[in-house]
Amino acid sequence: MLDMDEKLMNRSVNEGFPGRPSSLGKEERNVFARHRDLREPGFGMRKRLITPIPNDRVPFDEGGLDVANLGMVEITSEHEACPIEFALQPGKRGGWRAAEPGAQIIRLLFDQPQKLKRIWLVFEETEIQRTQEFALRWSPDRGRSFQEIVRQQWNFSPPVTVQETEDYTVELSDVTVLELRILPDQSGGKARASLASLRLA
């Protein structure tokens, strides 16, 4: 016969996820609390439950740069109902969307060289399935030369996968230009590029 502790431990392992206290009775919750540190027989691995951060709500600390007022923004296309300001200014909804399909560029030209420690991007697609690629790069000399920060691909598959959030920690000094190139659909479809949010710190 298995005692209560053993039953609960087996239940947690068999379900593939440590048993959630909210689904247990009072007695089981007390047992669960005693097993916050788990050691699987034969593996010798200690485990501890922590509170997860939802993937669609990555926090951005206060004190970010006022991107909209640091210089000029260049864009290759813009839908009149979704201007670039909606992606750069906190509190705005809807983000930026291109007026035409195909590859697009968003380029931030800073009046004064900036030091960047964090770059946060959010893309959303709620209508069509597509594979997007974007490249983020920067220039220390007003665009005469560029250095790539990251190149990333993402598969949107609504309604399951509708948002891509990227949060990069960087150490960049004397940034005069930050450029985002977006290829909305690698298959060459009619998708229009969009950007829900861009934040810098």
Specify the pTM.
0.70
Q: How many CB atoms lie within 10 A of CB 196?
A: 21
**Which amino acid belongs to residue 70?**
L
Nearest one of 57, 15, 18, 17 to 37, comparing CA atoms = 18
Compute φ and ψ for 10, nearest 5 degrees. -65, -40
pLDDT confidence of residue 94: 87
Q: How many CB atoms lie within 10 A of CB 124?
A: 19
- Positions of the chain with pLDDT lower than 70, given as ranges: 1-63
Q: Are the C-beta atoms of 15 and 23 separated by less than 8 Å?
A: no
Q: What is the pLDDT of residues 66-110, one digit of tens each?
A: 988 899 999 999 999 999 999 998 877 889 999 999 999 999 999
